[in-house]
Amino acid sequence: ERPGSRAVSPRARGEDSSTALPDGSRGTWANALWDQQERFEASSRAVEERMAKIKELKERAAAAKARRERCESELESVVAAYGPSALEAQEKRQGELQVELEAVRSALSAEEAKTRQLDAGLKAKSSDLERHKARLEDLRQAKTDKVAEVEAKVRLSASLGEAADE
């Protein structure tokens, strides 16, 4: 067993001879399906984390924009009241806020790119998972059909044995 993996019963591994697939791959399919499910869930969690980060960055960008607008408003009143020296201080502060806003926008853009990449991966994993689930269902149906066939043969054999005894 791999570390962190769940135990797989002998039946799920395909060790039950009456239900084993011809190539003995039942356990392989079950493990692959389990691994696929784990990767899908991990990808989903990663996308949720990225979405939360994007939301936080958008909020920070909005706050920085609001601060910039307040500074611009203050700048207009200071220029009117105090003249060029106050204007220079406000211009410096506005420049700092603009740099901060650009940094937040850049981080937001990077997070959105990562989220798009994770979304694409998540869609691919989801498609694989659905394909594996369909294959597993086909295997289960084949097992059910095989069990019914064996039971019918056993009943027929028992009937023939009883008829031969008479």
Write the pLDDT tens digit of every residue in 40-52: 999 999 999 999 9
Q: Does domain 26-165 have CATH number 1.10.12?
A: no
The band of 158, judged by pLDDT with boundaries at 50, 70 and 90, is confident
Give the C-alpha separation, 38 to 41, whole Å.
5
**Rounded mean pLDDT of 109-131?**
90
Distance, CA of 149 to chain centre: 41
Residues, the chain, total? 166
Nearest CA to 93 out of 121, 74, 77, 112 is that of: 74
Question: Rounded to an integer, what distance in angstroms lies between the CA atom of residue 28 and that of residue 83?
Answer: 78
Backbone φ, ψ for residue 45 (5° rounding): -65, -40
Q: Report pLDDT for 13.
A: 56
- Report pLDDT for 148: 93
For residue 21, how many C-alpha atoms fall within 13 Å in the half-sphere facing its CB?
18
Say if residues 32 and 45 touch (Cβ distance below 8 Å): no
**Residue 97 CB partners (closer than 8 Å, separation 6+):** 64, 67, 68, 71
For the segment 11-65, what is each residue's pLDDT rounded down to a tens digit? 555 555 555 554 557 889 989 899 999 999 999 999 999 999 999 999 999 999 9
Q: Which residues contact 145 (CB under 8 A, 6 or more apart)?
A: none
| DSSP string of 54-121, one letter each residue | HHHHHHHHHHHHHHHHHHHHHHHHHHHHH-HHHHHHHHHHHHHHHHHHHHHHHHHHHHHHHHHHHHHH
Helix axes 26-82, 84-165, angle to 10 degrees: 170
Is pTM, for the whole model, over 0.75?
no
pLDDT tens column, 71-105: 889 878 877 777 677 678 888 899 999 999 999 99
